[in-house]
Structure 1
Amino acid sequence: MMASKEFTLDPGARALLNDLGISVARVLRRAQLPAGLFAHGAVTMTTEEYYRFWEALDAEAADPDLAVRIGRTLSVEVFNPPIFAALCSANLRTAAERIAAFKPLIGPVNLDITGDPAGLTIAIHWPEGPTPPQLLVTTELAFWAALARIGTRREVYPTHVTMRRVPRPTPEAASYFGTRIREGGTDALAFSAEDASLPFLTEDESMWNFFAPELRRRLSELEASATTADRVRAALHERLPAGESSINAIAGQLMLSPRTLQRQLQAEDTNYQAVLSDTREKLARRYLADRSLPTSQVAYLLAYDDTNSFYRAFRRWTGLTPEAARNEGHPTPA
């Protein structure tokens, strides 16, 4: 699914920071953003600006448990329309599917929702480029626990939480999540099947029917403005970690035949193999910047059949082995 190339920060963020006792003016000044940023409603930011905002917030608060404080402070009043609409769902499973569908309206982030008899897993895929601030990632995960608790009015805890860059453990974080944050190849958390199916006391189908048409209209406009190559890249971000890289799999997700997909890409002076290779290279550079990820895990996340295939591809892209790129300190793209 295509996502906006910019993040949207709602005015509710100002109320949230006020509730946390954090000066909005000081955060904006640290982030080198305009002082009157929130004066005219919702704000759109580039990825770089959005990440600067979160880095400045982290520095200003100087609190290792800020993500937990945000999770505990979140309320319906600070949610944007897609999130508020999701609270109208019957349960967390349905809410997650709805948020995943409309998350692209909020920013260039894709959510991979996996539901099975064992439970519900929510994985977050960030945009290409700089690594997202640790506070932002932890807060995104804390949000899901908060959403489950606001909807059910019960102390729902995830069964496990993983992050590519794990923050320093604190008792507050362990208490909030009910489990220790562990290192993993993806920023994700999971809930038991029982908790994912707990009824939301906020369920309101008539309110959802009020919100949904406008959200769908905005999503259609966003997808209509995207190039085919953009749409293929977005689909690859979701499919590669699941081991799928074939044109048949991606064409199926985009509801096109492989032949039609190739024809549309050729009209943009590219082809499927070129987009696949470019996407893999950029993701490889980003993954290698995280030294906690072994090379074999990077190869797996890029849907290579074996590590040797990844080595050959990386050398073709860069003239270096993955280890050499890491040691020289420039695995991330310029």
Structure 2
Amino acid sequence: MSGERFTLDPNFKALLYDLRVSPARVLRRASLPGDLLSRGPVALLPEEYFRFWDALDAEGGDPNLPVRIGQAISVEMFNPPIFAALCSPDLETAAQRIATYKPLIGPMHLGVEQNSKGLRISYHWPAGMRPPQLLAMSELVFWAALARIGTRHNVRPTRISVPQLPEAPDVVGDFLGARVRKEAAHAITFATVDATRPFVTENEQMWRFFAPELRRRLSDLEGAASITDRVRAALHETLPAGDPSMTAVARRLAVSSRTLQRQLHLEGATFQVILARTREDLARHYLGHGAMSPAEIAYLLGYDDTNSFYRAFRTWTGTTPQALRSAGTG
């Protein structure tokens, strides 16, 4: 994902003015071209995209900024993926649609899981890169704002988790209606009753209009990415679901296992090497940015038992998860 580019929504210029933040100052602080927001849709590298959000946070200087950004979302904001989400019948469908097209918006992938606790939406960032606090918190606030616009109800999540608490967690917590907890992943959970609550903004005809164009844009983006990068991104989604197999990844990429194997061979890569490297990168991330136990990490990495994770981890690093965490080098 590190070499890919992502679209910066042209609506950002209007959003910055609504937030009373100078676009010129944000771009200058981020070391980005001063005319960037006047060119129409522009593509940024992940590090440029993250610099933009760090600069916005610094220029905004307001702990309430994630909430203000969430409140700026409206039906009138013409962003095709978000507009398509509002055309969905409910939040669960909207989350699945946005998860599919989120790579068009920024360097991140979404995990969408429906279980007995409700609908859980989690974020997966480029390996080795920590997202700006403002970006991560705004993304979580976005889901509550979207649900409230779509349902016209004061929908509240049942759980919000972040690896690092924001400067003023109560500000965001008050808006969301739930306490922000410190856990390993950026994630937000909604009760099933709210996840399936009908959207009054549902418009199947508009969705059918937008879907082909979104699929084309996604295909163009994926076509520019290496198959190795695409496999790594797919593993970020299949591993927490407990399936580290090539079959699961091939299904996610809509190719056969044989075709996937051949494409990787052409890049001088193998599925097992990518799987091991992705697991190691994620393990180091979890150990360095949260308080998850080795058993929980093993589960998120798709291992059947903790002992298998320990053996693999020692092969990668020559030490144990606890020792690496204690040394602070995760």
Common fold, TM-score beyond 0.5?
A: yes
| Contact preservation (8 Å) 2:70, 2:145 | yes
283-292 or 104-113, larger mean C-alpha shift: 283-292
Superposition map of 1:180-199 within 5 A: 180-199=179-198
Query: Which whole-Å CA distance do the structure 2 matches of 1:278 and 1:171 have between them?
Result: 37
What secondary structure is seen at the aligned counterpart in 2 of 1:241? coil
State the match for 1:130 in structure 2.
129
1:29 partnered with 2:10? no
Quote how far apart the aligned CAs of 1:19 are: 1.1
| Aligned residue number for residue 144 of structure 2 | 145
144-153 or 260-269, larger mean C-alpha shift: 260-269
Residues 153-168 of structure 1: matches in 2 within 5 Å? 153-168=152-167
* Cα offset, 1:257, TM superposition: 4.3
Query: Structure 1, residues 25-72: CA drift from partner, whole Å, max 9, x if none?
Result: 222222222222101112221111111111122222222221112112
The CA distance in 1 between the partners of 2:326 and 2:34, in whole Å, is 40
Instruction: Write the letter of the residue equivalent to 1:199.
Output: P
1:205 corresponds to 2:204? yes
Unaligned runs of 5+ in 1: none
Q: Does 1:292 align with 2:291?
A: yes
| Helix, strand or coil at the partner of 2:49 | helix
Q: CA deviation at 1:232?
A: 1.9
Deviation at 1:237, TM superposition (A): 0.5
Establish whether residue 92 from structure 1 lines up as the match of residue 82 from structure 2: no
- Partner residue, 1:112: 111
Q: SS of the counterpart of 1:5? A: coil
Of stretches 109-118 and 63-72 in structure 1, the one that deviates more from structure 2 is 109-118
Shift of 1:270: 2.0
Unaligned runs of 5+ residues in structure 2 are none
8 Å Cα contact 1:162-1:183 kept in structure 2: yes
Q: Counterparts of 1:189 and 1:4 in 2: how far apart (Å)?
A: 28
The letter for the 2-side match of 1:302 is L
Alignment of 1:254-265 (within 5 A): 254-265=253-264
Maintained 8 Å contact 2:246/2:271: yes
3-state SS of 1:124 partner: strand
Q: CA RMSD in A?
A: 2.5
Label 1:208 to 1:248 Cα distance change in 2 as closer, same or farther (>3 A): closer
In the TM superposition, residue 117 of structure 1 has moved relative to its aligned partner by: 6.3
Q: Secondary structure at the match of 2:239?
A: helix
Identity rate, percent: 57
Aligned to 1:82: 81
Q: What TM-score results when the alignment is normalised by the length of structure 1?
A: 0.89
**Aligned pair 1:303/2:302, yes or no?**
yes
**Which stretch has the larger CA shift, 295-304 or 144-153?**
295-304
Residue 72 of structure 1 corresponds to: 71
Return the letter of the residue paired with 1:35.
Answer: G
SS at match of 1:303: coil
CA gap of 1:316–1:171, structure 2 versus 1, over 3 A, is closer
TM-score w.r.t. length of structure 2: 0.90
